[in-house]
Structures are given as structure tokens and as C-alpha cells.
Structure 1
Amino acid sequence: MKKIEDIKILVASAEHVKYVDDINDAIDLASKQRGTGIARRTFEYLQGKMLDGKAIIALDDNKFAGFCYIETWENKNFVANSGLIVRDEYRGLGLAKAIKYKAFALSREKFPDSKIFGLTTGLAVMKINHELGYRPVTFSELTADDLFWNGCKSCVNHDILERTNRTKCLCTGMLYDPAWEKNKKEEAPVKKRSLLDIIKKLSLSNLTGKKEVQGSGSSKLISKIFNALFV
């Protein structure tokens, strides 16, 4: 029985170019099985991704198990993790998720300020994207680069995209914007205190063990309660 622990997930390099034909064969097979499109790339294109260190490959010993590559658009303002594929015999192990996480980490390392996006018809990929922080968006929020959209021409559903002027297709557009994380960090967190925490803090200040001077007691009490809540 195959285990994901036995599979190596690596940044592809020149030594992995020999797997390009296997990768494209797996893409063609998956496209036929699903009845939906996964864009096939030329040998030279995938070779270039490997030589540039912009691809992730999964190997079971010396056997190809899965793959994904990185593309950049609009002067690297947009990054896509594309062509995610796992061979039939390795499905159900969580390999697609592991490859996707590795590709996402590589994208963040190489292009920390770029928006990361993708088009997918697979529910499993959508779930993984959601876990990584992607959000579903309209196609207008993705790159407008014609080179990216031209890559959809090898998809069996390209005519739908053309008929709708790139507004919709069978794929769902998903986007991760690093600015979202920055905004979260800049937001001041609201301290939450339980009633027990407040009572303990008031007790430590000897609130119950001291008599306040009349006229100033209420203001001091309010001050101590405020400090217990927010400090």
C-alpha cells in the first residue's frame, strides 16, 4: 500500500526534465476522465519551468507521482500555481494537498508581494486553496494578461470562455492577496477577558479588602474595573 511518507516532493530541476512526457500524459488522461479541461503545455514550456526552479514534482523512488508549476503575469504582480496533477495510483493519499502547499510556499518565497491565483474545476483543489487563504473571485479580479488566457486555448471548454468574453467558464477563479495578511496584522486585537479573570485581577488589587474614601471611592472602583477589563 502506497504511503505519502514514501513520496519525495521536490522543487524540480534539470534532472527531472525526463518526466515531462509522463506529466503531459497524466494531464491528458485526467482531462478525459473528468470531462473538463486541464491545459496541456509543450515539452519546452515545462522544461523551462523546471530549469528555472518554478515547478514542484513528486516522486515515488524514480516514478513520477505528481506535479505543479508556477507562472508569473503582469510584471510578476500575479502568480499562478498551475497544472496540478496527481497520477491515478497516488490519489487519496493527500498528495495533491502536499504538492499545492509546497508550490504555494515556493511562490511566497520567490514572489512575496504578488497575488497568487488559480482557475480550477476540482472541489478538492478549491478546498485546499481555501485552507491556504484563497478566496473565490470574479475573472475580472484575475490577471488581464492575454498570455495567461491564451493558455486556456488547449482546454476542451475554451469556447465557453470565448463566448462569455472571459467573464465565466466551468472553472472557478480563486485569489490569495498577501495584503490581506498585512491588514490582519495591523488591526489591533481586542483583548477578551473572562469573568473569572476580572475577579482575580480585582482581588489582586485588594479592591474588596479596602474601604474607599467617600466621594472618591466610586471613581477609583470604576478605574480598577476599567483596568481589569482592558489593561
Structure 2
Amino acid sequence: MTISEFLIIPAKPEHVIYAETICSEMFESAKARGTGIARRKPEYVANKMIEGKAVIALHKDGRWAGFVYIETWGHGDYVANSGLIVNPEFRKVGLAKAIKKRVFELSREKYPHAKIFGLTTGLAVMKINSELGYEPVTYSELTQDEEFWKGCQSCVNYDILLSKDRKNCMCTAMLWDPVDKERELKEKIQRKAEAKERLERITQKQSLLKRIEAKLWKSAKKFVAVNFHKSKKVVKEF
């Protein structure tokens, strides 16, 4: 089985038939891992599909293979890609990475100026986030929207979050900041331009040195030739 057997697309209203199965799998997966997850109702997931704020993966035979949805906070200043789940039948083929990449692209399309963040206990998700450019941050750098933190109430680790005054918990916070990325891109472009300029200067110096060397060599040959003829003349006169 390969990734080419799957269709990974923004979810549509026609996909709401999968909502209950997806929610059930999210819960069972979290329970099996022994980790917390904010539980979502099928109606919530279905609404994300209807709004076009989700990505679904389907096998070519029509079975659902994976899912993730978009949440927005702070009037769209923050975006989270939540509820990533892969059907157990289709794991180990790279679906999680492909789904995360597609929902990241969808988030950038819909909210180009938003900070994209995530909270996760999964090492695999952390690795994917890191590859997409996310960086580990403190909880204080995430949205402070109360509605977001209310979503953690159904998590088994919610008491830990409260005991730490929402400054820490079992999840690792990761953030993709468009302002930082734009600055990094500008710095990268500037470094390339400076490197190109240095290379051009070095090339120009090398070219100048070659021209000087050629002139010196030509002068030396001329000097040798003149003195050689003079020597011959002196010998002949002698």
C-alpha cells in the first residue's frame, strides 16, 4: 500500500457521513495511547466539514483514511490544526504527514496572517510539525482565548493544566509564526545576495590577476626575446 492510493482533500458537506466514525476513532486512539485529548462531538466535526475547515483522506475504495480540522482563535490571529487521526487500517504509509501538510497549506490559504500552533503529546506529530517549520514555545505564546482553553476541559490531563496555572501541561506547544518566517526568508535572501556579491568580487579579482599575470608574462617574453637578440649580435660582432 502506498500514499498514491489515497485522495487527500479539503472536506466537503458530503463527507459528514464519516463524522461519527472519526470521532469514535479519535477517542479510542487517545484511550489506547493513554494520553489526553479534547473530545469532540460528531456535530462539531461535521460542521467543520461543511465550513471547509478540515482535511479528509479517502482510500480509492471510498473508505475514510484520515482526518484533521482547523480551529481559529483570537479573531483569526491564531489557527490550530486539531484532531489529527489516521484510520488504523491505513497507518504506516505516511498519511499523517501528508494530511498535516495539506491542512497546513489550507490554513495558510484561509488565514495567511495567522500564527499556526499546536498542542500535542505525540512524538510523531511533533516531528511532522518541526518539518513544517513549527518551533517549540511556551504556553504564554499561544492564544489566550478562553474558548480555546475550555476545549481542554474534556482532556484527562485538565487538572494538571489548572494546577500549573495554564503555563504548562503534558502537551508540547509548537508555533509557526508568519512574521518570523517572513523575516527568516528575507534574511536568507539577503545572505544569498551577499554571498553572490562576494563571489562576484572574488571572480573579478581572479580575472584581474589573470590579466596582470598575462601582461607580465608577455612583458617577460618580450624582454627575454630582446635580450636574446642583443646577445646574438654581440657574439657575432665579437
* TM-score calculated relative to the size of structure 1: 0.85
Q: Where does the alignment leave 5 or more consecutive residues of structure 2 unmatched?
A: 217-238
Q: Which has the higher helix share?
A: 2
**1:43-122 alignment runs, 5 A limit:** 43-60=42-59, 61-122=61-122
Aligned-partner Cα distance in 2 for 1:182–1:28: 37
Identity %: 53
**Alignment correspondent of 1:165:** 165
Q: Which has the larger radius of gyration?
A: 2
Aligned AA (1:191): A
Aligned-partner Cα distance in 1 for 2:181–2:72: 21
Aligned-partner Cα distance in 1 for 2:197–2:33: 51
Pick one of 182, 185, 191 that aligns with 2:195: 191
Pick one of 197, 212, 235 that aligns with 1:207: 212
Residues 79-113 of structure 1: per-residue CA shift (max 9 Å, x gap): 00000011212111110000000000000011111
Between the two proteins, the alignment pairs up a number of residues equal to: 209
- Following superposition, the deviation at residue 29 of structure 1 comes to 1.1
- Following superposition, the deviation at residue 3 of structure 1 comes to 2.1
RMSD: 2.0
**Alignment correspondent of 1:180:** 180
Q: Tell me, what secondary structure is at the counterpart of 2:195?
A: coil
Aligned-partner Cα distance in 2 for 1:22–1:44: 12
C-alpha contact (below 8 Å) 2:19/2:43 kept by paired residues: no
Structure 1 residue ranges, 4+ long, deviating more than 3 angstroms after superposition: 192-195, 200-203
Residues 189-208 of structure 1: per-residue CA shift (max 9 Å, x gap): 1306999x94x543433132
Q: Where does the alignment leave 5 or more consecutive residues of structure 1 unmatched?
A: 212-231
Aligned-partner Cα distance in 2 for 1:44–1:146: 21
- Following superposition, the deviation at residue 210 of structure 1 comes to 3.8
Q: Tell me, what secondary structure is at the counterpart of 1:112?
A: coil
C-alpha contact (below 8 Å) 1:65/1:87 kept by paired residues: yes
- Following superposition, the deviation at residue 180 of structure 1 comes to 1.5
Aligned AA (2:162): E
Taking structure 1 as reference, are residues 210 and 158 closer, same or farther at Cα in structure 2, changes over 3 Å only? same
**Alignment correspondent of 1:29:** 28
- Mean Cα deviation higher: 185-194 or 171-180: 185-194
Q: Tell me, what secondary structure is at the counterpart of 2:28?
A: helix
Aligned-partner Cα distance in 2 for 1:154–1:41: 9
Aligned-partner Cα distance in 1 for 2:178–2:114: 7
C-alpha contact (below 8 Å) 1:22/1:64 kept by paired residues: no
